[in-house]
Structure 1
Amino acid sequence: MKKIDKLILRSFIGPFLITFFVVVFILLTQYMLKYFDDFVGKDLGFSVFAELIAYFSINMTPIAFPLAVLLSSLMTFGNLGEHFELTAIKSAGISLVRVLRPLFVFVVCLSAVVYYSNNFIVPKANLEAYSLLYDIKQKKPSIDIKEGAFYGGIPGYSIKANKKYDDDKSLGDLIIYNHSDRKGNTEIILADSALMYTILGDKYLVMELFDGKSYTEEEANKPQEPSNYVRNIFKHNKVVFSLASFEMERTDKELFSSNRLMKNENELRNDVDSMRNDIIDSKQTIYRYTPRFFNLHMDDTEEVKPPSVVYLEKMKADTASISKLDSSKEESEVLAQKNEEAVKEKNLKTSKAIKTPDQLSKYDDQRTLKNTPKKLDRESIVEYDQNLIDRADSAFNSITRRTPSNLVDKPRFAKNRLKGENRRIENRKFEINVYSIEANSKLSQAVACIVMFLIGAPLGAIIKKGGLGFPVIVSILFFIVSYVINTTGIKLGRAGDISNFWAVWASNFVLLPFGLFFLRQARNDSRLFETDYYAVKIAKIFKFFRKEK
């Protein structure tokens, strides 16, 4: 490695690490503020907060890496240009592309690391972070007895203190209702004052009571006998409460593993395939269930089945028949080839050899739209009176030989069933879009590091300003543009308005031409951001118009 490569790498790695941790800290602070109310008053301890912050810091890295690359590359080449080091390098006959080469190789390797992190490390960190966050939300707040109000945080007890002193330990005029036996308020304790504290690692709460009385209603031995009523007077007494319910219990992490944020790219794509097959199963259910309501005129439903359902039923039948065969391997292969040829011939006739579940679903939608009437003729609607409907019901019941039923019951039930299945299909399509976008974003966020480098490095060479001033402003500007494009694309992609590919890759394709443009200008030593350059251009324009006059 040449000295110039070492110089460029040393100049880049330092600002990159600093900006990366600063960006992670800013994003983490903004994200954790949303859950601030869930942390207050729960006495979680430093270890729990440190664990939560560590996991969510990893969660912020997919956004932090591209922004850190953009800002650090701007600062690096801005400093080189500001101190005329870049000018000295160019005067030695070394081109800008040669100067960028070591950093470009470093960023490409960094993008591979980012992709690995997004695909394997971040999902595991998300599983740990969100399971811990759920447990924190479920944890009870620490004991906070307020003056003049009943406190029921301790299971089986209700405590009221009419006076609470400033040390948060001393109470006055105390009332304790004990209903831990679930038989009502059978035990009441009154005390003039009390002192409370915890023991055994905050596992138990002790209340020392002074100058009080206790009233207990004991259960009678026989139903006919009256219950016993016991009253005790004490000068000093202790009541111990278990605080086991205030400890944070960890939930099984496998309960959260089905969320899309906890899965890698392969798992997400497998889920998408399963959802597409589930849509075909829902369509099959519709066409298997509908003839039950129209048994008089829908005995043969093969003609109204969509090609995807026909294809799926045929494949299942072929698979079942092959699995039952105990013949040799050669006979199984021959039979499989025959079945495959038969399936292909039928698909050529029905759906033009559509093979994937996604293509089958799209073909079904196109067929449905093609066969849907464009306009409903109002004059063709005929209204019938109730007498005619009653006569039709009677005729229908006599034909079916069943218990009397209304003629519109079956269509109504079929309509409700179809609505439910259609809602399920729409939900599945939405989930397919969400999971596909999440799978595609694993790679797009890694490639964004390369795009941001192609923008930041040439732009820093043009601006020739280092530090945290102008480079930060330019970085924030491009980051906002990227964020807006990504957010809009994901929203449109989930709604199905654009493809899932363009939903996550649009920002890279939009910003890449800017990087190539800045690279071309930097190679030509353009003065793109110098005010005197534009002043000369404007002066030439005014001079041209003066000559015309």
Structure 2
Amino acid sequence: MKKIDKLILKSFIGPFLITFFVVVFILLTQYMLKYFDDFVGKDLGFSVFAELIGYFSINMTPIAFPLAVLLSSLMTFGNLGEHFELTAIKSAGISLVRVLRPLFVFVVFLSAFVYYSNNFIVPKANLEAYSLLYDIKQKKPSIDIKEGAFYGGIPGYSIKANKKYDDDESLGDLIIYNHSDKKGNTEIILADSALMYTILGDKYLVMELFDGKTYSEEDAKKPNKPANYTRNIFQHSKFVFSLASFEMERTDKELFSSNRLMKNEIELRNDVDSLKNDVVKSKRTIYRYTPRFFNMHMQEVEDIKPQTVVLWEELQKDTTKVKSDSADKKDEKLNNTDIESAKMVRNGSSKAKNKDSTNKEQIEPTPYNTITSYDSALVAKADSVYAKRNRGNNNLVDKPRFAKNRLKGENRRIDQREYYVRSYGLEANSKLSQAVACIVMFLIGAPLGAIIKKGGLGFPVIVSILFFIVSYVINTTGIKLGRAGDVNEIWAVWASNLILLPFGLFFLRQARNDSRLFETDYYAVKIAKVFKFFKREK
């Protein structure tokens, strides 16, 4: 490795590490503030917070890496340009592309690591983080007895202290209702003062009572007889309460493993395939199920069967011939049953029609598209006839109503599965797109820094935030449209990189030509030439 490569890498690594940790800290702070209310008053301890912050810090890395690459590359080449080091390198006959080569190789390896991290490290960290966050939410707040209010956090007891001293350990004018036996408030304890503290690693709460009375009521031995009443007077007494319900219990992590954030790309794509097969099976179920209700006019459902269902059935026949043969026999039996039932209905209707035609004239049916109102009496009469023929209490609308609810439920299930297909597909494609975003941000930041020639945390930070906001807005909008099904999953995830890549190539071309793209005097000269041109035309 040449000295020029060492110089460029040394100038880049330091700002990259600093900006990476700063970006992670900012994103982590913003993210953790959403759950601030779930942490207050639960006495979690430093170890729990450190574990949670560590896992969520890894969760922030897919966003932090591209932003850190953009900001650090801008700062590096801005500093080189500001101190005329970049000019000296070019004067030695070394092109800008050659200067960018060691950092480009570094960023390519960094993108490979980011892809590996997104695929294997981040899902495991998400599993640990969200399972721990769930347990924190379920944990009870620590004991906080407020003055003049009943506290029921300890199972089986209600405690009220009319006076609470500043040391948070001494209480005055205490009332304790003991209903741990689940028979009501059968025991009441009154005390003039109390001192409370925990023992055995905060597993038990000890409450020492002073100058009090205990009132208890025993169960009556015989029904309709008064119960025994007992009163005890004490000068000093101790009560020990178990704090097991206040401990944080860890939930089985496997319960959270089905979420898309806890899976790698291979698992996500397998889930997408399974969900797509499930959707096709549901569609096939609909088209097999429909003729049972609409057996008079939907015998040939093959004509309206979706192409995806047809292809799926052909694939099933090729892969599992034995199962498909048995399924075909079953379908043929069901279709024959439906056809026979349809023939019976048709024959019955034709016989009834011939019988009625001998008694009275045949009435032409009214086309359904000309009906604007319904005769309730006629419908009720038809319902009664239908009920007598079917020997039941069903009316004419029960069958279509049941069919509607069944088909609506299947369609709702299909919509839900298709939403999961899109969500899992977006998550799978984002694993690679977030890694490639590091390369795109480098192609924007490094040439832009060489053009601006300003280092530090001033102008480079503003430009970095601007491009990051543009990238974030495009990516967020694409994901929303992709989940809604308005945009293809690949375009939704890759739109940000595809839109920003031309900007990077444009800046690279301008930097190679030593463009003065961001210098005010450059534009002042251009504007002066325009005004001079119009004056000459006059």
- Mapped to 2, the partners of 1:195 and 1:397 lie a distance apart of 77
Unaligned runs of 5+ in 1: 326-338, 340-376
Aligned to 2:472: 483
Aligned to 2:503: 514
Aligned to 2:162: 162
Shift of 1:298: 4.2
Shift of 1:389: 3.1
Aligned to 1:458: 447
Shift of 1:301: 3.9
Task: Give yes or no for contact 2:65–2:438 (8 Å, CA) kept in 1.
Answer: yes
- Mapped to 1, the partners of 2:368 and 2:96 lie a distance apart of 73
1:81-230 superposed matches below 5 A? 81-223=81-223, 226-230=226-230
Deviations 1:43-66 (A, max 9, x none): 000000000000000000000000
Deviations 1:504-531 (A, max 9, x none): 1111111111100100010001111111
The residue type paired with residue 538 of structure 1 is: I
Deviations 1:1-36 (A, max 9, x none): 111001100000010000000000000001101111
Aligned to 2:401: 412
- Mapped to 2, the partners of 1:211 and 1:391 lie a distance apart of 83
1:468 has 2:457 as partner: yes
Give the alignment's TM-score, normalised by structure 2: 0.89
The percentage of counterpart residues that share the same residue type is 83
- Mapped to 2, the partners of 1:293 and 1:397 lie a distance apart of 17
Give the alignment's TM-score, normalised by structure 1: 0.87
The residue type paired with residue 418 of structure 1 is: L
Alignment CA distance shift 1:231-1:390 (3 Å): closer
The residue type paired with residue 119 of structure 1 is: N
Shift of 1:304: 4.0
Deviations 1:478-503 (A, max 9, x none): 00110111111111111111111111
- Mapped to 1, the partners of 2:508 and 2:319 lie a distance apart of 57
1:225-304 superposed matches below 5 A? 226-299=226-299, 301-304=301-304
The residue type paired with residue 451 of structure 2 is: I
Shift of 1:316: 4.0
The residue type paired with residue 437 of structure 2 is: A
Aligned to 1:380: 370
Match of 2:462, SS state, is: helix
1:388-403 superposed matches below 5 A? 388-390=378-380, 392-393=382-383, 396=386, 401-403=390-392
Deviations 1:62-87 (A, max 9, x none): 00000000000001001111111111
- Mapped to 2, the partners of 1:401 and 1:463 lie a distance apart of 86
- Mapped to 2, the partners of 1:513 and 1:432 lie a distance apart of 31
Alignment CA distance shift 1:529-1:314 (3 Å): closer
Match of 2:174, SS state, is: strand
- Mapped to 1, the partners of 2:313 and 2:499 lie a distance apart of 44
- Mapped to 2, the partners of 1:293 and 1:538 lie a distance apart of 77
Match of 1:468, SS state, is: coil
- Mapped to 1, the partners of 2:150 and 2:416 lie a distance apart of 46
The residue type paired with residue 214 of structure 1 is: T
The residue type paired with residue 265 of structure 1 is: E
- Mapped to 2, the partners of 1:395 and 1:294 lie a distance apart of 20
| Structure 2 counterpart of 1:523, from 465, 488, 512 | 512
The residue type paired with residue 519 of structure 2 is: E
- Mapped to 2, the partners of 1:436 and 1:319 lie a distance apart of 25
Shift of 1:270: 1.2
Deviations 1:284-311 (A, max 9, x none): 2222332332344445544443343344
The residue type paired with residue 465 of structure 1 is: K
1:287-326 superposed matches below 5 A? 287-299=287-299, 301-316=301-316, 319-322=319-322
- Mapped to 2, the partners of 1:155 and 1:289 lie a distance apart of 53
1:39 has 2:39 as partner: yes
1:334-373 superposed matches below 5 A? none
Unaligned runs of 5+ in 2: 329-366
Aligned to 1:350: none
Per mean C-alpha deviation after superposition, the further-off stretch among 290-299 and 170-179 is 290-299
Task: Give yes or no for contact 2:316–2:324 (8 Å, CA) kept in 1.
Answer: no
Aligned to 1:499: 488
Shift of 1:93: 0.3
- Mapped to 2, the partners of 1:383 and 1:175 lie a distance apart of 71
Aligned length: 498
- Mapped to 1, the partners of 2:139 and 2:468 lie a distance apart of 38
